[in-house]
Chains A and B, each alone.
Chain A
C-alpha cells in the first residue's frame, strides 16, 4: 500500500482560475487532480442548457481543463475526479473521450461515469409514494412549487467514485456528488478504508472540505495578515498528502505564491460551517471539534485527531425551481452631498414606481461606498464622501413589472438629482430567479450506477 497519496485541488467552483489544473499537475508530483464545479444553483443553470441542447448540461470548462492536463493523465498516470457532469455526466464523459481522440490519445483514457443522482424524471413518482421533499428551511412540501421545478439531484457520496477507480477509470465524471466525496474517494480506494471506519472517513471529509474551495485555504481570501501573503499572482492551490492512518498534511507546490498555515487552514475550516459536531455527508458524519492542526514546515500543516460517526439514512436533495424575476441597477452620485443626492434619487424612484402601480415582492436600496456591505454597523458616513453609488433592486412574480422598472433608472440622469454618472452599462438586465430548495430523501430511493468507457 502507498504510504502517501497526493490529491491536488484544481477548481473550487465553476469559474475558478483556468490556469490552476495545469499548474497543479506540472508544479510537482501529484496522484489525483480533484475539480469541484458545482455550487447550489449550478445544477439549474446546467438543466436550462440541457433543455436547449440535450448534449449539454455539464461544465464545459472541464473539457478545457482536461485538455490542459492530458499529458499528465496519459504519460504519468495522474487521475482526475470531477463533478463536472452536472445534469448530463454521460455527455460530459463522451466529450472527454472525443477530446482524447482528437489529441491522439484515442482509447488511452478510461473514463468513469457516475449516474443516479438525477431525480427529476422520478419526481412525481416519489411524491405520489409519499415523499414530501419538504424544504429543509421552511418545512413546506415540494408540491407548493412542483410545477416550477427545473432540476432535482441527490447529493451522492464517495462509493460510486471508488468503484469507478477500482474499475480502472483515469478520469471520473459525476453529477451532484458532494464536494468532499471527490477527495475522499481516492483515499478510500488507495487505502482500502472500510465503509464503517468512521474516523478515517471523517478525515477524508475534512481533507475534502479544506481543499474544495481551491486557494481559499492557501492564502486566497485570507483575512489574517492579508498584506503579507506572498505572491498571490502566482498562488499555489492546495494538495492533500494523505496517509493510511487518516492523518494528512496540506501543502502546495514549491515556488508558488500564497500561504498555508494553521490560520489559513482554520479560516477555510470554518467556511460555510453549520453545526461543527455534525458535518453530515452521505458517507459519514464528521466532528469538526476533533480536528487538530499543527504547522510542520513552511507552507505545510498537519491535520490529525479527526473523529466521526455513522451517517444518517437520508441523502440531501438539491432542487431548483423558478421563483420570479429580478433586476438590479446602479447610478453613481459625486461630491458634494454625494449620499444625500443618492438618497434623494432613491425617494424619486420609489415614488415613480409607486405611481406606475408596479407591485414587487421586494424593493431594496443600498448605498455602495456607505453601507451596502455592513448596513447600519458601518456608522455615519464622512460628509465629504467623494461619491456614493445608488444600487436599487426589485424582485417579483411579474416579468413585465420588473422590465418596466429597468426603464426608470436612466431617466434619473436628466430628470433627477444632480452630479450623477456611471450609467454607461445601459438598462439593468431582467433575470429569471432560479431558487434553491434543499430537501431530504431516503437513501434507499437513490441507486447510483457506474460505467467505464474508453
Chain B
C-alpha cells in the first residue's frame, strides 16, 4: 500500500552552514518503526537527488519517535552566502514529507496507516 509520509509524520528543519537538518517525527509512536525501516539514507538521498549536492547522514532517536537527517550541500553555501529563498533550510522539512512509502498491505492495515 502507498502511504504518504506527510500523513504519518511531522517534521522540522534548520541549518548548520551548508547543511540542512530535517527531524522527522512519527505521528504515532507505533509508526516509528516504519519510518526507521523505510527512510534509509539511500532512499532519502534518492528523494533529494538534484536538490542537494552532498551526502545524507541519518541518526535515530527512538526515544522521541524521530529520525534526524543531515543533508549536506543543501543550501548554496548556506547562511549569508546563499542566494536561495530558503537559505536556512527552513522548509526542507516539508520537502522530505513529500515522500511516498510502500508498506505491505497487512502491516499497513494492522498499524492503521492511512492510504495515499
Point out residues on A near B: beta carbons under 8 Å: 40-41, 137, 221, 223-224, 263, 266-277, 288-293, 305, 323, 326, 328, 362, 364, 366, 368, 372-377, 391, 393-395, 433-436, 438
Chain A residues near B83 (CB, 8 Å)? 326, 328, 362, 364, 393-395
Chain B residues near A263 (CB, 8 Å)? 10, 25
Contact of B68 with A by CB under 8 A: yes
Chain A residues near B78 (CB, 8 Å)? 436
Residue of A at shortest CB range from B29? A262
The residue from B13, B50, B64, B85 contacting A376, defined by CB atoms under 8 A apart: B50
Bound-complex Cα distance A221 to B47 (A): 24
B27, A436: Cβ atoms under 8 Å? no
Chain B residues near A395 (CB, 8 Å)? 81, 83
B25, A270: Cβ atoms under 8 Å? yes
Check A438/B17 contact, CB under 8 A, given A223-B12, A276-B59, A366-B84. Answer: yes
A270, B66: Cβ atoms under 8 Å? yes
- Chain A to chain B: the 7 pairs with minimum beta-carbon distance, closest first: A270-B23, A393-B83, A272-B14, A364-B83, A224-B10, A267-B12, A372-B85
List 17 other contacts, CB 8 Å, given A270-B64, A270-B68, A290-B63.
A137-B17, A223-B11, A266-B25, A268-B12, A270-B21, A271-B12, A272-B21, A273-B59, A273-B68, A289-B62, A323-B80, A328-B83, A374-B91, A376-B51, A377-B95, A435-B79, A438-B17
Chain A residues near B17 (CB, 8 Å)? 137, 436, 438
Q: Which residues 35-91 of B sit at the A interface, judged by CB distance below 8 A?
A: 47-48, 50-51, 59-66, 68, 70, 76-81, 83-86, 91
> How many contacts between A and B, using CB within 8 angstroms?
126
A431 CB, min distance to chain B CBs, angstroms: 8
* Interface of chain B, main secondary structure: mixed
Check A274/B81 contact, CB under 8 A, given A224-B27, A267-B23, A374-B98. Answer: no
Chain A residues near B86 (CB, 8 Å)? 372-373
A47 CB, min distance to chain B CBs, angstroms: 14
Bound-complex Cα distance A270 to B70 (A): 11
Bound-complex Cα distance A263 to B91 (A): 18
Bound-complex Cα distance A265 to B12 (A): 11
Interface size class on chain B is 35 or more
Residue of A at shortest CB range from B81? A435
Residue of A at shortest CB range from B79? A436
The residue from B59, B84, B91 contacting A277, defined by CB atoms under 8 A apart: B59
Check A266/B66 contact, CB under 8 A, given A328-B83, A373-B95. Answer: yes
Contact of B2 with A by CB under 8 A: no
Residue of A at shortest CB range from B60? A289
The residue from A270, A274, A433 contacting B16, defined by CB atoms under 8 A apart: A274
A343 CB, min distance to chain B CBs, angstroms: 17
Chain B residues near A368 (CB, 8 Å)? 85
Chain A residues near B27 (CB, 8 Å)? 224
Chain B residues near A376 (CB, 8 Å)? 50-51
Residue of B at shortest CB range from A45? B80
Q: List 10 A-B contacts (CB under 8 A).
A: A137-B17, A272-B15, A272-B16, A272-B21, A289-B62, A289-B63, A373-B85, A373-B86, A375-B51, A375-B95
Bound-complex Cα distance A131 to B5 (A): 47
Chain A residues near B12 (CB, 8 Å)? 221, 223, 267-268, 270-271
B98, A377: Cβ atoms under 8 Å? yes
Residue of A at shortest CB range from B49? A376
A59 CB, min distance to chain B CBs, angstroms: 18
B85, A273: Cβ atoms under 8 Å? no
Bound-complex Cα distance A293 to B61 (A): 12
A376 CB, min distance to chain B CBs, angstroms: 5
B11 CB, min distance to chain A CBs, angstroms: 6
Chain B residues near A293 (CB, 8 Å)? 64
Residue of B at shortest CB range from A328? B83
A322 CB, min distance to chain B CBs, angstroms: 11
A341 CB, min distance to chain B CBs, angstroms: 20
Check A435/B80 contact, CB under 8 A, given A268-B12, A270-B61, A276-B59. Answer: yes
B76 CB, min distance to chain A CBs, angstroms: 7
A323, B81: Cβ atoms under 8 Å? yes
Bound-complex Cα distance A223 to B17 (A): 24
Chain B residues near A271 (CB, 8 Å)? 12-14, 21, 23
Bound-complex Cα distance A449 to B73 (A): 38
B81, A366: Cβ atoms under 8 Å? no
A289, B81: Cβ atoms under 8 Å? no
Bound-complex Cα distance A433 to B21 (A): 23
Chain A residues near B10 (CB, 8 Å)? 223-224, 263, 267
B81, A433: Cβ atoms under 8 Å? yes
Check A273/B80 contact, CB under 8 A, given A223-B93, A374-B95, A377-B51. Answer: no
Chain A residues near B70 (CB, 8 Å)? 274
The residue from A269, A366, A433 contacting B64, defined by CB atoms under 8 A apart: A269
Q: Which of A276, A433, A434 has the largest number of chain B CB atoms within 10 A?
A: A276
Chain B residues near A323 (CB, 8 Å)? 80-81
